[in-house]
Amino acid sequence: MNLKELAAHIAAEFQKNYGRAPRWIAAAPGRVNVIGEHTDYNDGFVLPMAIEFYTVMAADKRPDGAGIVTLRSTSQPDTATLDLAQTIKPAPPKWGNYPRGVFAGFQARGVNPGGLDVLVHSTVPLGSGLSSSAALEVCTATLIEAVTGKAIDAEEKALLAQKAEHDFAGVPCGIMDQFISALGREGHLLLLDCRTRKTELVPMSDPSVALLIINTNVKHELSGGEYAERRAQCEEAAAKLGVKSLRDVTADQLERGKAKLSEVVFRRARHVIGEIERTLHAAEGIRQSNWPTVGQFMYASHYALRDDYEVSCPELDAVVEIAEDIGYKGGVYGCRMTGGGFGGCCVALVKADAVESISKKIASDYKAKTGIEATIFSSRPAAGATIIKS
């Protein structure tokens, strides 16, 4: 569904839920990180793009004039409510904490949108690493902008959304997801410096290429400590090399400091330092529409995540192997796992006119190799959050 169709869909759903038409509609996209994985907490660069899958929210003032916000979602059985007259705090149901945290952020700024009936609907798959959570937060903030008629700076909005995820959902995420959902621009990727928060739109309007997102539909349940362990190893490497973060280390410096690090910590650092460089090179390749080069950096990113950072899994590796088999001749420039790892999605850079044949081949070979059905879709770089009905 494109945005127009989604708006019509949510308006009809709102009517069914609340018995009247919505007054406001806002949307915010999910995202895929094209390259730059596990670099955000090392002060490095990431290069995400907004995808043509969105969270949309429709709202109307409450007919009774009470200062209560009712939030319903087409994907959740439980309704969330919050009282704008009280200090907003986390409360069940769980999903409601994402929008709740955003309302709290506006409350802390003295902004009161007044009582609302709200409906949420999302075409971003939930929990697949395409950041339905950031889409929900940024969409909530955009809806509040529509209701109050006051826009806030897009970066401030992204930070407010991130804070909601930290404080209300309890997820210590970086800034990438909310930044791209708020600041994405159609036909562009976003090169984001996670140290300075400086952003740069990287044009990608060549119609001959597309991004394929391949959801492995697996999520390996780990002990939960893997993310914290990787972070700690990066911090250890930086400390032993005498710098604030791995952003400050070149590949040469790492080689020279090798003796100071354990074998594992050395490999973790090698991924991060290489990935920061690859991300900058890939951005340059995209600016020049040099797709074979961009594709090579994507493969290199995957190998480092698999071998040095050890956050891949057999299913993600299977997708990348299938993509390699299809190869340049079959229209694949590059492929890599995207997101935190241990399941979730791969992203592939492909020739636009081969999207269908590549999708079919990946689906059938992945099924043959793993017994699992993949979900595959293509997207062009989409626009960031928008108010559809003001």
Known catalytic residues?
A: 177
Q: How far apart are CA 155 and CA 182, in angstroms?
A: 7
Binding of Mg ion by 133 (CB under 5 A): yes
Q: Which residues between 91 and 130 bind ligand ADP (CB under 6 A)?
A: 94-95, 98, 120, 122, 126-130
Among 47, 136, 319, 326, binds ligand ADP (CB under 6 A): 136
**Whole-number Å distance between alpha carbons of 184 and 96:** 25
The C-alpha angle with vertex 263 and arms to 259 and 265, in degrees rounded to 5, equals 95
Using DSSP's 3-state secondary structure scheme, residue 128 falls into coil
Neighbour tally for 8: CB within 10 Å: 13
E-state strands within 123-272: 188-193, 199-203, 209-219
Residues 270 and 304 sit within 8 Å (Cβ to Cβ): yes
Judged by beta carbon distances under 5 to 8 A according to partner kind, the member of Mg ion, ligand ADP, none in contact with residue 95 is ligand ADP
The backbone torsions φ and ψ at residue 90, rounded to the nearest 5 degrees and listed phi first, read: -60, 145
Query: Which partner in ligand ADP, Mg ion, none is near 76 (CB below 5 to 8 A by kind)?
Result: ligand ADP
Least separation in angstroms between residue 46's CB and ligand ADP is 15
The residues, ordered by sequence, that sit 6+ positions from 165 with a Cβ below 8 Å of its Cβ are 98, 101, 133, 134, 137, 171, 173, 178
Q: Is 132 in the site for ligand ADP (CB under 6 A)?
A: yes
Q: Smallest gap, in angstroms, from Cβ of residue 29 to ligand ADP?
A: 12
Q: What is the DSSP letter of 375?
A: E
Quote the tokens at residue 101.
């945290």
User: What's the rounded Cα separation, in Å, for the pair 100 and 161?
Assistant: 10
What is the bridge-based pairing of β-strands 116-122 and 68-73? parallel
The C-alpha atoms of residue 215 and residue 108 are separated, in whole angstroms, by: 38
Closest contact distance (angstroms) between CB of 143 and ligand ADP is 13
Q: Find the binding residues for ligand ADP in span 203-262 (CB under 6 A).
A: none
Residues 31-90 that bind ligand ADP (CB under 6 A): 55, 73, 75-76
- 120 or 237, CB closer to ligand ADP? 120
> Min. distance of Cβ 58 from ligand ADP in angstroms?
12
Judged by CB under 6 A, how many residues of this single chain contact ligand ADP? 18
- Rank residues 134 and 273 by Cβ distance to ligand ADP and give the closer one: 134
Partner that binds at residue 94, options Mg ion, ligand ADP, none, CB closer than 5 to 8 Å by kind: ligand ADP
Closest to ligand ADP by CB, 80 or 210: 80
- The torsion of the CA quartet 100, 185, 31, 212, rounded to 10 degrees, works out to 160
181 lines the binding site for ligand ADP (CB under 6 A): no
Instruction: Work out what residue 73 binds among ligand ADP, Mg ion, none; the CB cut-off runs from 5 to 8 Å by kind.
Output: ligand ADP
Q: Which residue is nearest to Mg ion (CB)?
A: 133
Residue 120 or residue 209: which is nearer to ligand ADP going by CB? 120
**Contact between residue 251 and residue 273 where contact means Cβ atoms under 8 Å apart:** yes
203 binds, among ligand ADP, Mg ion, none (CB under 5 to 8 A by kind): none
Cα–Cα distance between 365 and 361 in angstroms, integer? 6
Contact residues for ligand ADP (CB under 6 A)? 55, 73, 75-76, 94-95, 98, 120, 122, 126-133, 136
Contact residues for Mg ion (CB under 5 A)? 131, 133
